[in-house]
């Protein structure tokens, strides 16, 4: 591992191959922590890859950053955290560029920023400033909605893996179509988002700590008594009755006889 | 059994020209064997009685029954019982002579039990009869009850006998106890069971003893006594009638009998008794074991009551003038044991399935669905095999969820899960079988539904949906292929593999990877994870379009993008005015169309459906899920409530030949496509052959063929037979008429190559 070039290469590859799985992020993060003597280099790797890859990979790297900083802090390697704090604006610009090409990533950026703030990797002020910028970009998107999309119909198909858009002129709605994801990438992104969502949901079973936490949670999640509860109650009652009547031949017979006798 | 047989026989005898009936009963009783034997034992004694008793039809019969001979001979059992029974029945009712028989008359008693006479038999002959009866009809308890009845009856009979003709020594003792019971029974005829039981219990012991003791006397004195006793017997019969009602624990009787045998033997003919006892024991055992089975037959008891009641009345009169009385004994015949046709009998499963893929009626990611026939009830079921392949974590949790959910649902428009079955290491969910599904029905080659039928189907769909949603269930896979239709036109929603309970009063987060994509609502396509019943409404609207027009409205290519494009192409591109939350959709930016389209839904569908139907569809196809109607609101739409024609159940489906599911219609489509393809290819080939230079083409083909042939042997040896046949058929298809000669050579060579393979791999398709 002594070769810094090799370390760079390998980390770059890992960043490119990030996906929605936790293991891929953990692998890259552990690699970076293990080679922290080149922390500066590896950090620049992250920025570089953020600006060079498609929007899917950028989103994946964004999610990775949260994971990575978590791990770095827990191992006491604050240099990574500090570098990230310094360059966070650049990261956000790369993941959700203001030309509209990264509109689909705005949501990702928001989510990760909030998480970073809640873990005190970023201060509140920085986050709110970034939020302001994002809101602008979002607003732009909303105007777009009102217009029902740009007329350039087929363009979005062919602009897959475009180089970073930093140098491109800001997106004008009437101008060139932004380098949107192609179909394949859209589908990949959908799958990755679903995967992430699934992992998110894995936590819903966790019981919060505290004396009455579980009870409170149940109480919170239980619906009010509704008509469906009565429907269910009636069904259960009928079922119970039927079972009771058929539970034993005598009863069955008695029931039958009763009918005849009646 | 014998008791039954006897009863039957007896009943038959009285009712029918005894013998035929008797014969039947015999046969039956014979089956029971032991009981018969016991009877036999007693029968001999009885036989005289029987002769006297049944004098009716009977005496001859009785005698003929040769019960004596039989009993003696062992044969007796079957016949004996019958004879006895006959005798009993005949005896008690007809003549005093029966009296003797009456003792035996346990026969009549037996009847009492069942119908009175039966109980008697049981009682006297022993408890064995009672036990027999019990075995036959009643469960153990019933049997016991009967036994008691029988005992009581016996006791009564004995009492009667003793009273009337004290000839029987033992009877007297019995008589005491019995008399009381008799009275009681008389009074309680209608409610004989309870009182009689109590009485009986006491009586029974006595009766048993008495019977033992009595038994002998009857045998000896039988003829004389019987006559004198007849009146008594009549009374007995009366009692019997009442007694039958009461269910006496036969086991006790039987036990007593068992104990009693020795004494009986001494007084009576030892051999006879012994055999009866043994039989009785067996009977008892059978009874105990068999009661459950008999239980269902017991309903007969209901019959018995009326008989008993009648008898009691009659008997009462008879008491006054016994000889004139006639007791109608109703014999119960055992239903013939159902015999399975050989093909069903060979089935290893309760649910017979045709071999191989013949029974498959559906298949999907979940596994396969088979059509099965319950070999006993002959009812059809659909067996959904739960796929276990590739399940690392054991039984799939999705299947557990589906089962749990289905178990909690009960509605006429929701498919009914009958049971879950494990068989040969596979797990099946057993559903009621419905002949069609909507896809199959709508693609039927020549049947189309009438508007009123369509409306009825739609109505049922939304009724089912309304039930699900009120119960807090999201189906999440509503589509035409998951909607079953019975041959009476009843619709049922099926396949709850993706269904789940949802929180009705607050929004939770669910996966958006649900619903077959053609039926998936826009919010799901745009990544929404907090959704509700409106997703099912969208799907149902798609199904409704199919019901009305036979065509899917949004047939995309399977990707989210294409699906949205399909929706856009009809409903136009969505906007924030119609759907304020549009931009909140997680994948709004990701999937935002680069174009704008107008809504052409009206253009395309207004002409195809009625005005109300169009209005309803338009309301359900709102982009904004909050604006879609609920299932209950749909049901109140004018389309269902006012617009003509009113909905009408599609009974005509009964006349539809065969079953039509998506599976069959797909197979049909494949078949048609294949035919078309072949026709086209043949045509093409023909033209090609004509148009092109034949000389040029032939050499090439020849080369190909030889090449293939050269390779084939290796391939075949490596591959399975199935693959080989596939490849060969494939080649055959590819080779066109012009290459006939080549194909020929192929065919001749293939078998040679196949031989070693077959030898190696015996597993052939």
| Higher-pLDDT residue of A197, B366 | A197
CB B249 within 8 A of CB B148: yes
The string of pLDDT tens digits covering residues A22-57 is 889 999 999 999 988 888 889 999 999 998 888 889
The string of pLDDT tens digits covering residues B50-67 is 344 343 443 344 444 444
Mean pLDDT, range B351-360, rounded to an integer: 83
Indicate whether B215 pLDDT > 80: no
Question: What's the DSSP call for residue B384?
Answer: E
Mean pLDDT, range B646-668, rounded to an integer: 82
Nearest by CB: A181 against B575, B582, B590: B590
The string of pLDDT tens digits covering residues B301-316 is 545 454 444 444 444 5
pLDDT of residue B692: 56
| Higher-pLDDT residue of B392, B32 | B392
pLDDT of residue A259: 57
Contact between A253 and B583 using a beta-carbon 8 Å cutoff: no
Phi/psi for B431 (5° steps) reads: -115, 160
B141 vs A: CB within 8 A: yes
CB B392 within 8 A of CB B376: no
B303 vs A: CB within 8 A: no
A255 vs B: CB within 8 A: no
Mean pLDDT, range B422-442, rounded to an integer: 90
CB B192 within 8 A of CB B149: yes
pLDDT band for B657, please (50, 70, 90 cuts): confident
Mean pLDDT, range B122-137, rounded to an integer: 40
Contact between A198 and B511 using a beta-carbon 8 Å cutoff: yes
Quick one: tokens of B518? 């053609």
Tell me which range, B333-337, B338-342, B452-456, is most confidently predicted by mean pLDDT. B452-456
| Higher-pLDDT residue of A217, B528 | B528
Contacts of B596 in chain A (CB under 8 A): 147-149, 151
Opening angle at CA B45, ends B40 and B46, nearest 5: 80
pLDDT band for A140, please (50, 70, 90 cuts): low
What is the interface size between A and B, counted as CB pairs within 8 Å?
120
A143 vs B: CB within 8 A: no
Tell me which range, A225-229, B598-602, B669-673, is most confidently predicted by mean pLDDT. B598-602
Indicate whether B356 pLDDT > 60: yes
Say what percent of chain B tops pLDDT 70: 47
Contact between B590 and A223 using a beta-carbon 8 Å cutoff: no
pLDDT of residue B206: 44
Distance from CA of A51 to the nearest CA of B (A): 19
pLDDT of residue B712: 38
Candidates A223, A229, A242, A252: best to mutate against B (most CBs of B within 10 A) is A223
pLDDT of residue B253: 52
Indicate whether A199 pLDDT > 50: yes
Mean pLDDT, range B635-660, rounded to an integer: 88
Chain B residue nearest residue A153, CA to CA:
B594
Out of B477, B659, B695, B704, the active site residue is B477
In whole angstroms, give the CA distance from residue B360 to residue B372. 9
Chain B residue nearest residue A183, CA to CA:
B561
Restricting to A residues 35-64, those with a Cβ less than 8 Å away from any Cβ of B are none
User: Which of A52-56, B388-392, B477-481, B556-560 is the least confident region?
Assistant: B388-392
Chain B residue nearest residue A100, CA to CA:
B589
* Cβ neighbours for B357, distance < 8 A, ≥ 6 positions apart: none
Written as one string, the DSSP assignment of A162-184 is: PPPSTTSPPP-TTSSPP----HH
B315 CB neighbour count, 10 Å cutoff:
34
Opening angle at CA B234, ends B231 and B238, nearest 5: 145
Q: How far apart are the first and last CA of chain A?
A: 93
pLDDT band for A225, please (50, 70, 90 cuts): confident
Say what percent of chain B tops pLDDT 90: 27
Q: Alpha carbon B352 to chain centroid distance?
A: 13
Mean pLDDT, range B89-94, rounded to an integer: 42
Phi-psi region of B644 (alpha: psi -120 to 50; beta: other; left: phi over 0): beta
B466 vs A: CB within 8 A: no
Quick one: tokens of A220? 């919170």
| Secondary structure element (H or E) that encloses residue B114, with its range | helix B106-114
| Secondary structure element (H or E) that encloses residue B430, with its range | strand B426-432
Dihedral of the CA atoms A36, A39, A45, A51 (nearest 10)? Answer: 130
**b (16+ CB within 10 A) / e for B124-139:** bbbbbbbbbbbbbbbb
| Secondary structure element (H or E) that encloses residue B734, with its range | helix B721-734
Mean pLDDT, range B567-589, rounded to an integer: 92
Indicate whether B191 pLDDT > 80: no
pLDDT band for B694, please (50, 70, 90 cuts): very low
Residue B328 is labelled as binding a ligand: no
pLDDT of residue B227: 44
Restricting to B residues 369-408, those with a Cβ less than 8 Å away from any Cβ of A are 408
Question: What's the DSSP call for residue B116?
Answer: B
Restricting to A residues 190-219, those with a Cβ less than 8 Å away from any Cβ of B are 190, 193-194, 197-198, 200-201, 204
Catalytic annotation present for B477: yes
Quick one: tokens of B286? 């059978």
Tell me which range, A233-242, B140-149, B195-204, B488-497, is most confidently predicted by mean pLDDT. B488-497
Here the ipTM equals 0.75
* Cβ neighbours for B702, distance < 8 A, ≥ 6 positions apart: B742
B569 vs A: CB within 8 A: no
User: Which of B80-84, B468-472, B616-620, B685-689 is the least confident region?
Assistant: B80-84
Contact between B139 and A189 using a beta-carbon 8 Å cutoff: no
CB B608 within 8 A of CB B454: no
Indicate whether B345 pLDDT > 70: yes
The helices-and-strands tally (H runs, E runs) of chain A is 11, 0
Contact between A190 and B527 using a beta-carbon 8 Å cutoff: yes
Please report the sign of the dihedral spanned by the C-alpha atoms of residue A137, residue A141, residue A143, residue A147. Answer: positive
Indicate whether B504 pLDDT > 60: yes
3-state SS assignment for residue B364 = strand
pLDDT of residue A141: 54
B335 CB neighbour count, 10 Å cutoff:
8
B687 vs A: CB within 8 A: no
Candidates A249, A257, A259: best to mutate against B (most CBs of B within 10 A) is A249
B530 vs A: CB within 8 A: no
Indicate whether B31 pLDDT > 80: no
Distance from CA of A99 to the nearest CA of B (A): 13
Written as one string, the DSSP assignment of B549-590 is: HSS-S----SSHHHHHHHHHHHH----TTT-GGGGGSTTHHH
Angle between helical axes of B250-259 and B140-164 (0-180°, round to 10): 60
In whole angstroms, give the CA distance from residue A255 to residue B3. 26
B363 vs A: CB within 8 A: no
The string of pLDDT tens digits covering residues B553-565 is 999 999 999 999 9
Indicate whether B223 pLDDT > 50: no
Contacts of A107 in chain B (CB under 8 A): 586, 589
| Higher-pLDDT residue of B582, A235 | B582
Contacts of A228 in chain B (CB under 8 A): 470-472, 504
pLDDT of residue B250: 52
Mean pLDDT, range B674-699, rounded to an integer: 67
Mean pLDDT, range B660-667, rounded to an integer: 79
pLDDT band for B195, please (50, 70, 90 cuts): very low
| Higher-pLDDT residue of B748, A100 | A100
3-state SS assignment for residue B621 = coil
Mean pLDDT, range B146-170, rounded to an integer: 42
pLDDT band for B532, please (50, 70, 90 cuts): very high
Nearest by CB: A152 against B471, B504, B594: B594
pLDDT of residue B329: 85
pLDDT of residue B268: 44
- Cα separations (Å) of B755 from B710, B752, B759, B762? 17, 6, 6, 11
In whole angstroms, give the CA distance from residue B19 to residue B89. 13
pLDDT band for B330, please (50, 70, 90 cuts): confident
pLDDT of residue B344: 79
A108 vs B: CB within 8 A: no
Indicate whether B597 pLDDT > 60: yes
Here the contacts of B596-599 (C-beta below 8 Å, separation 24 or greater) are: B596/A147, B596/A148, B596/A149, B596/A151, B596/B572, B597/B568, B597/B569, B597/B572, B597/B573, B598/B572, B599/B570, B599/B571, B599/B572
Output the average pLDDT for chain B. Answer: 65
- Cα separations (Å) of B370 from A8, B432, B487, B759? 57, 12, 18, 32
Mean pLDDT, range B589-606, rounded to an integer: 92
pLDDT of residue B361: 83
pLDDT of residue B176: 45
Strands B360-364 and B473-474: unpaired
Nearest by CB: A221 against B472, B503, B512: B503
């Amino acid at each position: 591992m002594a070769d810094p070039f090799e370390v760079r290469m390998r980390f770059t590859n890992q960043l490119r191959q990030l996906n929605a799985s936790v293991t891929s992020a953990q692998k890259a993060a552990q690699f970076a922590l293990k080679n922290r003597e080149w922390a500066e280099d590896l950090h620049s790797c992250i920025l570089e890859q953020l600006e060079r890859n498609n929007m899917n990979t950028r989103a994946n790297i964004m999610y990775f950053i949260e994971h990575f900083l978590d791990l770095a802090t827990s191992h006491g390697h604050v240099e990574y955290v500090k570098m990230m704090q310094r360059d966070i604006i650049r990261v956000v610009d790369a993941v959700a560029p203001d030309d509209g090409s990264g509109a689909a990533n705005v949501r990702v950026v928001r989510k990760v920023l909030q998480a970073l703030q809640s873990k005190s990797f970023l201060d509140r002020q920085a986050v709110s400033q970034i939020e302001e910028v994002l809101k602008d970009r979002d607003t732009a998107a909303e105007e777009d909605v009102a217009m029902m999309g740009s007329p350039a119909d087929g363009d979005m198909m062919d602009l897959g893996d475009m180089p970073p858009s930093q140098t491109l002129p800001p997106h004008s709605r009437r101008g060139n179509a932004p380098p949107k994801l192609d179909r394949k990438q859209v589908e990949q992104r959908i799958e990755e988002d679903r995967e992430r969502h699934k992992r998110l949901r894995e936590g819903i079973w966790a019981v919060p700590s505290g004396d009455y936490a579980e009870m409170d949670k149940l109480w919170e999640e239980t619906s009010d008594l509704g008509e469906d509860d009565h429907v269910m109650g009636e069904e259960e009652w009928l079922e119970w009755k039927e079972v009771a009547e058929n539970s034993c031949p005598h009863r069955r017979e008695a029931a039958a006889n009763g009918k005849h006798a009646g | 059994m014998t008791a039954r047989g006897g009863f039957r026989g007896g009943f038959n005898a009285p009712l029918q020209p005894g013998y035929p009936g008797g014969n039947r009963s015999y046969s039956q009783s014979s089956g029971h064997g032991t009981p018969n034997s016991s009877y036999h034992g007693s029968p001999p004694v009885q036989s005289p009685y029987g002769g006297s008793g049944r004098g009716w039809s009977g005496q001859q019969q009785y005698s003929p029954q040769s019960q004596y001979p039989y009993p003696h001979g062992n044969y007796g059992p079957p016949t004996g019982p019958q004879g006895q029974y006959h005798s009993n029945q005949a005896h008690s009712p007809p003549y005093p002579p029966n009296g003797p028989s009456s003792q035996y008359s346990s026969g009549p008693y037996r009847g009492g039990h069942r119908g009175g006479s039966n109980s008697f038999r049981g009682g006297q002959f022993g408890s064995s009869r009672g036990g027999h009866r019990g075995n036959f009809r009643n469960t153990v308890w019933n049997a016991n009850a009967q036994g008691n009845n029988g005992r009581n009856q016996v006791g009564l009979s004995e009492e009667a006998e003793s009273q009337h003709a004290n000839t029987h020594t033992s009877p007297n003792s019995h008589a005491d106890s019995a008399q009381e019971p008799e009275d009681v029974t008389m009074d309680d005829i209608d409610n004989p069971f309870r009182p009689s039981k109590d009485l009986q219990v006491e009586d029974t012991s006595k009766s048993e003893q008495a019977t033992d003791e009595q038994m002998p006397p009857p045998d000896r004195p039988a003829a004389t006594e019987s006559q004198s006793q007849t009146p008594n017997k009549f009374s007995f019969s009366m009692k019997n009638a009442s007694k039958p009602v009461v269910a006496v624990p036969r086991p006790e009787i039987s036990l007593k009998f068992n104990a009693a045998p020795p004494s009986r033997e001494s007084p009576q003919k030892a051999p006879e008794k012994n055999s009866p006892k043994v039989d009785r024991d067996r009977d008892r055992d059978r009874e105990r074991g068999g009661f459950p089975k008999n239980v269902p037959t017991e309903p007969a008891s209901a019959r018995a009551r009326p008989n008993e009641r009648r008898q009691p009345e009659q008997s009462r009169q008879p008491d006054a003038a016994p000889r004139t009385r006639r007791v109608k004994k109703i014999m119960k015949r055992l239903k013939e044991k159902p015999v399975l046709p050989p093909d069903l009998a060979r089935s290893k499963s309760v649910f017979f399935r045709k071999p191989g893929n013949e029974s498959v009626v559906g298949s999907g990611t979940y596994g396969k669905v088979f059509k099965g026939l319950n070999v006993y009830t002959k009812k059809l079921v659909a067996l959904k095999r739960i796929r276990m392949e590739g399940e690392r974590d054991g039984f799939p949790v999705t299947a557990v969820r589906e089962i749990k959910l289905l178990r909690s649902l009960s509605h006429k428009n929701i498919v009914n899960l009958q049971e879950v079955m494990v068989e040969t290491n596979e797990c099946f969910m057993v559903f009621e079988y419905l002949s069609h599904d909507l896809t199959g029905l709508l693609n039927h080659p020549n049947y189309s539904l009438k508007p009123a039928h369509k409306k009825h189907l739609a109505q049922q769909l939304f009724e089912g949906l309304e039930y699900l949603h009120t119960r807090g269930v999201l189906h999440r896979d509503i589509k035409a292929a998951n909607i079953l239709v019975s041959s009476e036109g009843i619709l049922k929603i099926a396949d709850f593999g993706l269904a789940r309970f949802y929180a009705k009063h607050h929004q939770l987060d669910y996966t958006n990877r649900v619903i077959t994509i053609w039926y998936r609502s826009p919010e799901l396509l745009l990544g929404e994870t907090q959704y509700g019943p409106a997703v099912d409404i969208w799907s149902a609207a798609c199904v409704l379009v199919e019901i009305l027009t036979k065509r899917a409205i949004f047939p995309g290519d399977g990707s989210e993008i294409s699906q949205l494009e399909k929706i856009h192409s009809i409903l136009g591109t969505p906007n924030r005015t119609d759907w304020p939350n549009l931009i909140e959709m997680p994948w709004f930016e990701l999937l935002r169309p680069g174009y704008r389209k107008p809504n052409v839904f009206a253009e395309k569908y207004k002409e195809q459906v009625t005005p109300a139907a169009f209005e309803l569809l338009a309301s359900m196809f709102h982009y904004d899920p909050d604006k879609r109607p609920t299932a209950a609101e749909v049901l109140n739409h004018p389309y269902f409530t006012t617009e003509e024609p009113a909905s009408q159940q599609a009974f005509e489906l009964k006349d539809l030949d065969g079953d039509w599911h998506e599976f069959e219609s797909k197979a049909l489509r494949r078949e048609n496509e294949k035919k078309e393809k072949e026709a086209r290819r043949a045509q093409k080939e023909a033209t090609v052959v004509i148009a092109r230079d034949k000389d040029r083409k032939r050499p090439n083909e020849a080369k190909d063929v030889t090449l293939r042939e050269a390779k084939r042997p290796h391939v075949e040896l490596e591959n399975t037979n199935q693959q080989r046949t596939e490849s060969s058929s494939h080649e055959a298809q590819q080779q066109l008429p012009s290459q006939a000669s080549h194909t020929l050579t192929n065919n001749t060579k293939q078998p040679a190559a196949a031989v070693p393979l077959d030898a190696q791999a015996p597993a052939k398709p």
